[in-house]
Structure 1
Amino acid sequence: MTDRALYVAMTGASATLKTQASVAHNLANADTVGFQATLSGTVAAPVRGDGLPSRVAASHRTLGVDDSRGAQVVTGNHLDVALHAERWLAVQAGDGGVAYTRAGELRLTPNGLLVTATGRPVLGADGAPLAIPPHQSLDIAGDGTISIVPQGQPASTIAEAGRLRIVAARTADLIRGDDGLMRAAPGAPAPAPAAGPALTAGMLEGSNVEASSMLVSMIQLARQFEMQVRVLQSVDENARSANSLLGSR
């Protein structure tokens, strides 16, 4: 029975530590624009191998992300966009592939390249990074169309400078990578171009992490881990006592 108690407490403590790391990651991104909280949990996983099937591991699993929308914050910045529900902005990932984000805090580089706040190039409807010509003013329409007044032209001269590549996808069909960007999950349909209004300019979507809830979870997990460690210590003490009694005979 001693080894079973140790095994149960050990697997539980290991899963608790991993869950704590997930909650800590959510807390660290409580102020990150467009961030969606990671959902995680613990599942039972039977241990296969030689001998009787008497062991079940407690395995930590990432269950996806919370698809609820964060607070909508009015910024007045013409490059800020808040994406509508199940709408994603296509960007170029570090490996050159296509990834998706809801972080609509956009910037223009000195060369006119449109990028996210983290420096990822924003893709246009044609799949290429968007480059904006010199301009006096810029507006982004609800469907992602970018209109400018070219440098040196009268205000009545409006030119189209490109269109944001915005796709429609359920959060359940996407998976978050180590870089924080979303990609199509294995076996899920490829995100399709969004139709109709997909964003609101001059606004940003905040993180959907509820800091107070995450702090409560951290406290609960800390207490849970402490109890699991106490079980390990108690089992070890009982084993030492039993060995001492047997040795004295």
Structure 2
Amino acid sequence: MDASMWIAKTGLDAQQMRMSVISNNLANVNTTGFKRDRASFEDMLYQNLRQPGAQVGANAQSPTGLMLGTGVRMVSTEKTHVQGSLVTTKNALDIAIQGDGFFQILQPDGTVSYSRDGAFKLSNTGQLVTANGAQLQPAITVPPNVAAISMGQDGTVAVELANGGGAQVIGQLQIARFVNPAGLQAIGQNLLKETQASGAPTIAQPGTNGAGQLQQGALEASNVNVVEEMVNMIETQRAYEINSKAISAVDGMLRFLNQNM
């Protein structure tokens, strides 16, 4: 295969992958706590036909080299952890994080994952859980005879007992922070997983040590900007078309060569 055809093919593959990233962003425009992905590219290895500074004569050196690129590839996708807008729900069990940090969610295998989705529910035992039944950590158990539940910005969880039973503090929410949140691995169900790239979590009380504060009765919306993603989609489509035209152009050149040799 002609080298230029292969180079254009790598461009097609890269733009197709970028379109998949954009499509996923748009698909999750209404997903609570979703963070948009950004595709990153890098050029591939070069054919070094002449080294810059190579000797080209008795007393002369080449001021530039002769290096032919071999294409492009997607090197990473990175989640952009920009704060999404807060949507008021007036649901006592909805919690939004204003600032840095993640909720800790206990998985069935005993490991802990992390999420910005604060749409919690009550299990049949009164524990705060996600929509998929995973338990919030530290565990919060709401008594059965509760008239109202309140959560402070510092994570303090209190309830008002029914029939004039008075107020009672039942727990303290904590959130996890990471040195490199972009290094977290997305595993679906609005959950992220710790990796070596993210570093170990630092557990803090909301509003302390750089951790964000909590807001009850609100949820964090997706930080996907539809207009921006549409612009990226058009740009990707045009880049794909250009690489396709490059393949057609090379095919025409080779056909001309075959017919006239």
Decide: shared fold, TM above 0.5: yes
Q: 2:173·2:205 contact (CA, 8 Å) conserved in 1? A: no
Q: What value does the CA root-mean-square deviation take over the aligned residues?
A: 2.4
Aligned-partner residue type, residue 96 of structure 2: A
Aligned-partner residue type, residue 28 of structure 2: N
1:218 is matched with which residue? 233
**Cα distance in 1, alignment partners of residues 25 and 107 from structure 2:** 22
Tell me the SS of whatever aligns to 1:158: strand
Sort the Cα spacing of 1:169 and 1:61 in 2 relative to 1 into closer, same or farther, 3 A.
same
**Cα distance in 2, alignment partners of residues 95 and 221 from structure 1:** 40
Q: 1:90·1:167 contact (CA, 8 Å) conserved in 2? A: yes
* 1:102 equivalent among 100, 116, 140: 116
* 2:173 equivalent among 158, 164, 167: 164
1:32 is matched with which residue? 31
**Cα distance in 2, alignment partners of residues 215 and 173 from structure 1:** 23
2:187 is matched with which residue? 178
**Cα distance in 1, alignment partners of residues 198 and 148 from structure 2:** 40
Sort the Cα spacing of 1:33 and 1:187 in 2 relative to 1 into closer, same or farther, 3 A.
closer
**Cα distance in 2, alignment partners of residues 177 and 80 from structure 1:** 22
**Cα distance in 1, alignment partners of residues 256 and 177 from structure 2:** 63
> How many residues of Structure 1 are paired with residues of Structure 2 in the alignment?
235
1:154 is matched with which residue? 163
2:3 is matched with which residue? 4
Q: TM-score, normalised by structure 2?
A: 0.80
**Structure 1 position 220, deviation (Å):** 1.3
User: 2:155 aligned with 1:144, yes or no?
Assistant: yes
**Cα distance in 1, alignment partners of residues 4 and 30 from structure 2:** 41
Q: 1:86·1:170 contact (CA, 8 Å) conserved in 2? A: no
Q: Which ranges of structure 1 fall in alignment gaps of 5 or more residues?
A: none
1:229 is matched with which residue? 244
**Structure 1 position 63, deviation (Å):** 4.2
The 10-residue stretch of structure 1 (141-150 or 170-179) with the greater mean CA deviation from structure 2: 170-179
Sort the Cα spacing of 1:171 and 1:208 in 2 relative to 1 into closer, same or farther, 3 A.
farther
Tell me the SS of whatever aligns to 2:83: coil
Tell me the SS of whatever aligns to 2:187: coil
**Cα distance in 1, alignment partners of residues 142 and 257 from structure 2:** 77
**Cα distance in 2, alignment partners of residues 194 and 99 from structure 1:** 16
| Cα displacement string for residues 201-239 of structure 1 (whole angstroms, at most 9, x for unaligned residues) | 111111111001101111111111111112112212321
Q: TM-score, normalised by structure 1?
A: 0.84
Q: 2:3·2:70 contact (CA, 8 Å) conserved in 1? A: no
Percent of aligned positions that are identical: 26
Higher strand share: 2
1:89 is matched with which residue? 103
Q: 1:64·1:175 contact (CA, 8 Å) conserved in 2? A: no
